[in-house]
Amino acid sequence: MRCMPTRVTVRVRVQGTCGSRNPLRVIPRSTLCVTAAESVVDGKLEGRKEVRKRGMDGQVRGFEEIPHTGRNGWVNLVKFWREDRFRQLHKHMDRTFNALGPIYREHLGTQSNVNIFLPSDVSELFLSEGLHPERMTLEPWATHREIRQHSKGVFLKNGEEWRADRLLLNKEVMMSSAVKRFLPLLDEVARDFCQMLRMRVEREGRVVEEKHSLTINPSPDLFRFSLEASCHVIYGERIGLFSSSPSLESQKFIWAVERMLATTPPLLYLPHRLLLLIGAPLWTQHVTAWDHIFSHADARIQRGYQRLGQGSEAGAARGHYTGVLGQLLEKGQLSLDLIKANITELMAGGVDTTAVPLQFALFELGRNPEVQEQVRQQVRASWAQAGGDPQKALQGAPLLKGTVREILRLYPVGITVQRRPIRDIILQNYHVPAGTMIHVCLYHLGRSPEVFEDPQRFDPERWSRHEGKRGEGFRSLAFGFGARQCVGRRIAENEMQLLLMHILLSFRLSVPSSEDLKTTYTFILQPETPPQITFCKL
């Protein structure tokens, strides 16, 4: 464990006129020490200026002085249930930051954490995460693995065991050589999806000025695309979800993932082992969903193992990509149980987390036609020069990457990134002990005028304007940061970019209503009602 530095600096926002955006100044602790947070006293909100005046004594504030939402975790949990805050947790965090300032504590049931959002604080957290970064353990998931005697994948592991497995997985899903291998598979699925959509538009759409157009809810199709693409990369085979009658097995898998995600949030704050003992319906639903997910993955893995024994080695030797599963089986560096655990986690985490952002992306492109046309023109030029090479096409269209980053800024799939620092740190002039669970709240980060200029505006170009600037690394955090960032990041990013590329090459998008989408949280952020999108053939 590293020692605390003897010199501490504090980042202070200098107050100006309302709405002004003054830069952060770095001031030595010996010169000035303030708190940037407001506090609640006797139910009334105290302004930041008054609190700062009291903080001019040059002392770092104690952990207990961090503003909080209530000390009794069970009372807080009852309020959450009664007011249905779990489904609007992102909005609750947004309101609380606006009331209490850039740091606050929250105690809910069995969970206690500190919430932050400013990139400067995330930077401090990153520097204190150590060689084996530790995120919040999803105990309901871990308990399922234990009672079913399944191995845990890297998502649920910590310490040296996590690091050893993660380094092996990185070679197959994160490194540029791996991306180059699986990009053609994603591109094939994206092309087929657009071909299927063109046929549907021609068959069901209406003709206006000699052009076919169709208004639909694309959500079910996007879920099928995401599962088809994930399976193609992970298992090296297509599962036929674009047929007129997709398999019941795949439909059950999608249902199971949705049920698993929906039942996770309440179980995080309740004594789930007690619920296990009494056979509570919530716990039973959660376990049943996971059992379906593991059953689906197990069947796919068994088929992959059989293919490997039937001559896939020769195919791999000829340069045929056998999928992530095939690569892991051929190299034999992970046991079969660990391969199954990690493949299952990749599959469970790779459907909703790409299908839902794609819904938001189509909606934002549809209600911002000028932005849509700007991205399309860049995509057309890049596609023409790439000669069918998907990697070159993406490299020549940075606005596609900017579009995905912009969607995940406004609609982060997971609304927090969590870490436990391995040493004491100072955040917003408060002392935070080592081992404290700290949540970086992405919804508020992405929509805060303290972090982004004109934050409500959908502007993919903003990422090109700021690329490479100092301090920009902790503003786009939808996939996490550091060594523990999402292991499926490269698959998800490229999957979304490639589908958007082919859709923009084939269709002009519009929306029947440009009203803001209402969102809800069921362990991932999603629309309360999926948006209707009009696809007009180009």
Among 4, 121, 33, 21, residue whose Cα is nearest residue 471: 121
Question: Mean pLDDT lowest for which of 177-181, 300-304, 345-349, 515-519?
Answer: 300-304
121 in a structural domain: no
Question: DSSP 3-state helix, strand, coil percentages of the chain (rounded to 5)?
Answer: 55, 15, 35
Question: What pLDDT, on a 0 to 100 scale, did the predictor assign at position 34?
Answer: 30
Over residues 380-387, the mean pLDDT reads: 94
% of the chain with per-residue pLDDT over 70: 86
Q: For residue range 5-15, what is the model confidence (pLDDT) as tens digits? A: 433 333 433 33
Going by pLDDT thresholds of 50, 70 and 90, the confidence category of residue 265 is: confident
The predicted pLDDT at position 470 comes to 56
Establish if 397 belongs to a structural domain: yes
Least confident of 27-41, 50-64, 199-213, 364-378: 27-41
How would you classify residue 16: left for phi > 0, otherwise alpha for psi between -120 and 50, otherwise beta? beta
Query: What pLDDT sits at residue 522?
Result: 87
pLDDT score for 187: 96
At residue 417, the pLDDT reads 96
What is residue 26's predicted lDDT score, i.e. its pLDDT? 35
pLDDT of residue 29: 31
Mean pLDDT of 284-312: 84
* Confidence check: pLDDT of 252 > 90: no
Number of domains in the chain: 1
Residue 451 within any structural domain of the chain = yes
Q: DSSP string spanning 241-254?
A: TTSSS--HHHHHHH
User: Stretch 411-428: mean pLDDT, rounded?
Assistant: 96
Amino acid 466: pLDDT: 65
- pLDDT for residue 57: 58
Residue numbering of the annotated binding site for heme: 486
Residue 276 lies in a domain: yes
**Mean pLDDT of the chain, nearest integer:** 85
Q: Is residue 494 part of a domain?
A: yes
Which comes out higher in pLDDT, residue 162 or 466?
A: 162
- What residue numbers does the annotated binding site cover? 486
**Per-residue pLDDT for 21 more than 70?**
no
Rounded distance between C-alpha atoms, residue 324 and residue 342, angstroms: 10
- CA–CA distance, 287 with 142 (Å, rounded to integer): 11
Q: How far is Cα 85 from Cα 93, in angstroms, rounded to an integer?
A: 10
Higher pLDDT, 529 or 254: 529
Q: What is the CATH number of the domain that holds 478?
A: 1.10.630.10
Whether 36 is in a domain gets the answer: no
Angle at 67 between CA 125 and CA 446, to 5 degrees: 50
Q: Is the pLDDT of residue 202 over 50?
A: yes
* pLDDT, position 311: 59
Residue 420 has pLDDT above 70, yes or no: yes
Per-residue pLDDT, 247: 75
In 114-247, alpha helices (H): 119-127, 139-147, 159-173, 176-204, 219-235
- Give residue 300's domain range: 159-420+431-537
pLDDT band at 48; cut points 50, 70, 90 = very low
- Distance between CA 132 and CA 127 in Å, rounded? 12
pTM over 0.75: yes
Percent of the chain having pLDDT more than 90?
66
Residue-wise pLDDT for 58-116, tens only, equals 689 999 999 999 989 899 989 888 888 888 999 999 999 999 999 999 999 888 999 99
Q: In sequence order, what are the beta bridge partners of 416?
A: 441
In a domain, 21, yes or no: no
76 lies in some domain: no
Burial of 110 (0-12, 13-18, 19+ CB in 10 A): middle
| The predicted structure's pLDDT at residue 372 | 98
Residue-level pLDDT at 10: 38
pLDDT single digits (tens) 149-192 = 999 999 999 999 999 999 999 999 999 999 999 999 999 999 99
Over range 343-370, report the average pLDDT.
94
Reported as a single tens digit per residue, the pLDDT across 471-528 is 567 999 999 999 999 999 999 999 999 999 999 999 999 999 999 999 999 889 999 9
